[in-house]
Amino acid sequence: MMENRDDIKRWLETSRLEAADIDCVTTVMLKILDGKCKMSESGKQVMIVLYDLVKDRPGRLLGANEHTLIAEARATHPGEAERMQIYERRLLAETMISRPVMKAFKAMLRAEGVIASL
């Protein structure tokens, strides 16, 4: 697993993330923020760094609305209403992105050493 921002940044320089992959990163970030992410703490930290590095790239299905919600949640300590909004947006994102696409994305991250294998 990649340990720091520089490692992830170098990986991004040679990776070929597609718009659908950016959607996956955004969805994982929503899941981290709504408290439902089952990744290890170190895995979550890698995904947060990855999100920060790619959030300005265009997604295929997700975009400004999700990024604004994420930025607002990170700037404050969201209350129950805000967490529910994040949760609902994450569920919507997960219905838009097929399970095989998300599974393939996570498998690629594991295969390339970005996150730890299960």
pLDDT beyond 90 at 113: yes
pLDDT beyond 60 at 118: no
Residue appearing with tokens 């590095």: 53
Tokens of 51: 């999100």
In angstroms, rounded to a whole number, what is the distance separating the alpha carbons of residues 93 and 91?
5
Model confidence band, residue 117 (pLDDT cutoffs 50, 70, 90): confident
Convert the pLDDT of each residue in 16-65 to its tens digit: 899 999 999 999 999 999 999 999 999 999 999 999 999 999 999 999 99
Model confidence band, residue 91 (pLDDT cutoffs 50, 70, 90): very high
Look at residue 3 in the predicted model and tell me its pLDDT: 79
pLDDT beyond 70 at 106: yes
Residue ranges covered by each domain of the chain:
5-111
Cβ neighbours of 29 (radius 10 Å):
29
Overall average pLDDT of the 99-111 stretch: 95
